[in-house]
A and B are shown apart, each in its own frame.
Chain A
């Protein structure tokens, strides 16, 4: 069973507009969430994270929102730039449960058009 789901395989937006990437999870033990960006033939690059004690975290153009009751998080990129075109992975871990492994979604391919 897939504990972290990214239901949109792809997303296309215009440069300068907002990109919103969504992620749902099923395991209520997850308490730490991360977003990674991946270019072809490279490893994932860490973007931003959020602990379950928060509902929002910002870092420059990137903001992550967490809705624990809905078991949903989203990544907002404003404004989107062509260099943001990549595959974005949502990941989660259950740190209080003693497990440090990250459980990843299947990814969403973002294309930002000039």
Chain B
């Protein structure tokens, strides 16, 4: 399977804990995006990378959130001191240039 993969698929954590998600994009894609989706809403943009450079961040990305793409390949999204409002589906997507973005299956986070 050469699509976008995300790990883990599900994460349950207690409020205040830190969590980290991983995204592996389609291999030839130089752009990688993170979105968040809550129930009844469309995906909301969080941040994106072109190769290893983080080029845009949403206001939704508070200082508790950090994303990295150290070698321009996979990316990690870390949430520190999780809150119940962080419960959502975290989606990763990749693209080559200004083309359609292909999404992974998502990581569903539940904060208790």
Contacts and interface: CB of A to CB of B under 8 A. Distances in A.
A106 B93 CA distance: 18
Contact of B58 (A42, A95, A101, A104): A101
A100 B42 contact: no
A80 interface: no
Interface residues of B, number: 27
Nearest to A89: B42
A78 interface: no
Contacts of B4: 43
A104 B55 CA distance: 20
Given A95-B98, A100-B56, A43 B48 contact: no
Interface of A: 4, 32, 34, 36, 41-46, 49, 89, 91, 95, 99-107
Interface of B: 4, 6, 31, 33, 35, 40-45, 48, 55-56, 58, 91, 93, 95, 98, 100-106, 108
